[in-house]
């Protein structure tokens, strides 16, 4: 095991965190946690996507698909969406940048 799952379980193996849920001694729980940690890590990698000039609809579509699977709150999604915008779009959004707090509003503003 390597990457994010190994780092996660190392905390329990090395007694940095208490294994209160007994995941190291229960195979079914271990598999559930492994699936969640690995899946989330994969989704987060995918969520590092970037909007390229002229591809706003593709960017929004991919972002919506992935964002529904990570379980982040609205503020985190808005920040990540803004971060992935092209520099040209960011420049156009400067006047309203800090007022955009809802993901749907931010996506709509980025379209114009």
Q: Which of 28-32, 36-40, 47-51, 59-63 has maximum average pLDDT?
A: 59-63
| Banded model confidence at residue 112, pLDDT cuts 50, 70, 90 | confident
Asked if 107 contacts 86 with a C-beta cutoff of 8 angstroms, the reply is: no
Within a domain: residue 78?
yes
Domain tally for the chain?
2
Within a domain: residue 82?
yes
Within a domain: residue 98?
yes
Q: What percent of the chain has pLDDT over 70?
A: 82
User: For residue 16, what are the domain limits?
Assistant: 3-46
Residue 57: exposed, middle, or buried by beta-carbon count in 10 A (0-12, 13-18, 19+)? exposed
Global pTM value: 0.61
Q: Are residues 39 and 15 in the same domain?
A: yes
Res 89: pLDDT: 92
Q: Are residues 104 and 60 in the same domain?
A: yes
Q: At what angle do helices 56-70 and 103-111 cross, to 10 degrees?
A: 170
């Amino acid at each position: 095991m390597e990457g994010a799952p190994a780092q996660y379980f190392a905390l329990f193996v090395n007694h940095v965190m208490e294994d209160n849920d007994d995941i190291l001694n229960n195979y079914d729980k271990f598999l559930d946690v492994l699936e969640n940690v690995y899946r989330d890590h994969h989704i987060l990698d995918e969520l590092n996507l970037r909007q390229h000039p002229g591809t706003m609809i593709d960017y929004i579509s991919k972002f919506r698909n992935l964002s529904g699977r990570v379980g982040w709150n609205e503020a985190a999604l808005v920040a990540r969406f803004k971060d992935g915008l092209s520099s040209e779009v960011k420049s156009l959004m400067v006047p309203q940048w800090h007022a955009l707090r809802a993901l749907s509003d931010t996506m709509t503003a980025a379209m114009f």
